[in-house]
Amino acid sequence: MVERYFGRAVAHRTATYLEYQGPGWMHPDSNGRFAEHAGSSPGEPVCPVCGMPVSPETLLGLQHDGSTWQFCSRWCRAQFEAAPERFSGAVH
């Protein structure tokens, strides 16, 4: 997750600070499924910021560029509002 948002150098420093054992996380095939954004559909929306499923009862939607975006939390919605170009390339 750190690498996805902040780059490999920051992820490597974070792993070192946390005393993470082993460089397996750096192998491109080790976490490939986590590097891809989860698919989202109207019946099963996924938060474009963190990739978590969004409950249909959660009313944290936002209109942007003609699309409705759903969020799992107010924090994620605020992150999107601050920099929509960073997240609007995700599948919604």
pLDDT tens by residue, 32-91: 555 555 566 667 788 888 888 888 777 788 989 888 899 989 999 999 999 998 887 644
Residues of the domain holding 4: 1-36
The answer to whether 36 and 11 are in contact (CB under 8 A) is no
CATH of the domain at 51: 2.30.170
Q: In whole angstroms, give the CA distance from residue 18 to residue 8.
A: 15
- Predicted model pTM: 0.53
User: What is the tally of structural domains in the chain?
Assistant: 2
pLDDT for position 53: 87
Structure tokens at 67: 């699309």
The answer to whether 35 and 10 are in contact (CB under 8 A) is no
The answer to whether 47 and 76 are in contact (CB under 8 A) is yes
Task: Read off φ and ψ for residue 43, nearest 5 degrees.
Answer: -80, -25
Residues 27 and 49 both lie in one domain:
no
Residues 43 and 80 both lie in one domain:
yes
pLDDT for position 56: 72
The answer to whether 26 and 12 are in contact (CB under 8 A) is yes
Residues 43 and 72 both lie in one domain:
yes
Residues 31 and 43 both lie in one domain:
no
pLDDT class of 30 with cuts at 50, 70, 90: low
